[in-house]
Amino acid sequence: MIAQLVLKSLAQPEKIQLVGFSLGAHAAGYAGKTLIEKYKLKDHRITGLDPAGPGFDRESKSNKLDPSDGRYVEVFHTSGGLLGILGPSGHVDYYVNGGKPIQPKCPWLESLTLYSCSHQYALKIFNGTIGGSYLVHKCRDSKSAVAGSCSGGVTCNVGFLLSNCPAGVYYLGTT
């Protein structure tokens, strides 16, 4: 469908943004891969919201969301190592509060509820980017982001607006 809109000049590839949460993030990656391989369209953008971890952590890049799936792939990690993937998956990876499975705004209830809340926290963060931006800190690598040991504030638009963060790993702290 997307390819048909582009081929009929009803949509511009550089204005296409595929957004997926959890398993949907990998589906967006697969759609992006298909646009590239089948239709030679690579100008689209993908936003992965805490891509699913179980069953995907050890998969090859061709079977999960990956930077080669689009021109600009950004990923928000909120429950890495549990329900989400912890390792970098995009050109730009935002580790929200370290990307770990327990987010600060989630209630301390039973484990499943807590982990589900942290996983879904990516949706809340993404919604917060509509019309706004976050202060993020560039990190040396994903281990630094998980530890929260990143310095140097870089303000850039993340999420819904066309992102302008240079490629890399970032720590995104919330209050």
Instruction: Tell me which residues are annotated as active site.
Output: 22, 50, 119
What distance in Å separates the CA atoms of residue 169 and residue 140, rounded to the nearest whole number? 7
Strand partners, 137: 153, 171
Structure tokens given for 48? 């992965």
DSSP 10-26: SS-GGG-EEEEETHHHH
Distances in Å between the Cα of 49 and the Cα atoms of 9, 37, 109, 153 are: 29, 24, 23, 22
Over the range 142-153, which residues count as b (16 or more CB within 10 Å of their CB) and which as e? Answer: bebbbeeebeee
Strand partners, 138: 170
CA dihedral 82, 86, 89, 93 (to 10 degrees): 120
